[in-house]
Amino acid sequence: MRYLVLRTENLTKEFHRRPALCGVTLEVDPGEVFGLLGPSGSGKSTLLHILLDFIRPSHGQALVLGMDCQRNGLKVRRLVGYLPQNLTLPKGITAGQLLERFAALRGGVEMTFADELAARFQLNLELPCERLSPGERRKIGLVQAFMHRPELILLDEPSRDLDTAAQRELYRLIAEFRAEGRSVVMASQSISEMERICDRVAVFYRGRIIAVERGAQLRARAIRKIEMRFANPINPQIFIGLNNINQLVCDQNKVYCTVQGDPDALLKTATQFRVLDIISQQPSLEEVYQTVYGIPAYAT
């Protein structure tokens, strides 16, 4: 039988008769970076909380590293690293002292790797916790999640509040852990993040998984809003023949459109003229749900 890092079967959770998770079944392989994508309240964090035994499922079963996450909760949590969505830090101690406490709670964690991680995230360990910015708090959360080199890392909105450099460092770290055969399950609302680092992504909508996409598939179906400004007025007919262009609007020397997938053809056509500026934007999660999965925007 194939060894799976994570396996859930028909996992269902109701809060006061309101379903938060409905029949979630998924499998994560060793060395895989698995994304949970969805808007706020779609059940991503609920799933992570069940895996860590903070809450118990109404129906279904979850196996983490081959163990039942309820019956073998302690063993599971020994081998798992977790970054919560909201991290509450105590006052009156420094970031370094806090990391030492986290290491003591785990037992047998060497601080050398934690210090190395802190240095990579440019985290000042001398700062008192109450003076840490939201980004620095997030970095502490990341260091404690990775510092014992867990087999499986559960990250809830890992890049929220992080600056660009720290985000890049996080993605590098995840790639290194994946290369070592460790697995990462991360919940996020950012499609660009999912496209960039996840091998597979489960798309959540109101507690259900509506699709499981490969990272490459997600990239191929990615939608971008493009705004271009040319030196001279442009004839819109030149773009009409491009088959992955939608919502094309020309206004004198400006062109607005959405591109699904590869923007290569659009760029090659545009560069026949003198381009002054190009702005590319990711659409919101609502727009993607509407365009790709046919779910009305207001419903998300």
| Site mask for other proteins (CB under 8 A), range 85-114, x = bound | -xxx-xxxx-------xx-xxxx-------
The C-alpha atoms of residue 212 and residue 63 are separated, in whole angstroms, by 19
- Size of site (CB under 8 A) for other proteins: 27
- Whichever of 59 and 268 has its CB closer to other proteins, that residue is 59
Is 57 in a helix, a strand, or coil?
A: coil
Residue 49 sits in the site that holds other proteins (CB under 8 A): yes
For other proteins, the closer CB: 77 or 225: 77
- 40 vs 252, which CB is nearer to other proteins? 40
Q: Judging by DSSP bridges, how do beta strands 67-68 and 33-37 pair with one another?
A: unpaired
- Contact track, other proteins, 66-85, x by CB under 8 A: --------xx-xx-x-x-x-
8-state DSSP, 299: G
Tell me how far, at minimum, the Cβ of 118 lies from other proteins, in Å.
19
Contact status: 56 vs other proteins (CB under 8 A): yes
Torsion-angle region of residue 133: left (phi > 0), alpha (psi -120 to 50) or beta?
beta
Contact assessment for residue 255 and residue 236, using Cβ atoms and an 8 Å cutoff: yes
Which residues ranging from 179 to 208 are in contact with other proteins (CB under 8 A)? none
Cβ 221 to other proteins shortest distance, Å: 33
Q: How far is the CB of 292 from other proteins (least distance, A)?
A: 30
Report the distance separating Cα 273 and Cα 229, nearest Å: 10
- Token duo for residue 141: 């959360």
Of 52-60, 169-177, 231-239, 262-270, the window that binds other proteins (rule: CB under 8 A) is 52-60
Which helix H or strand E contains 247, and what residues bound it?
strand 245-251
Residue nearer to other proteins on the CB measure, 92 or 294 = 92
82: which residues sit within 8 A by CB, 6+ positions away?
48, 52, 145, 153, 154, 155, 156
Nearest distance, CB of residue 157 and other proteins, angstroms: 13
Q: How far apart (Å, rounded) are the C-alpha atoms in residues 289 and 293?
A: 5
Residues that bind other proteins in the complex, under the rule CB under 8 A? 15, 49, 52-56, 74-75, 77-78, 80, 82, 84, 86-88, 90-93, 101-102, 104-107
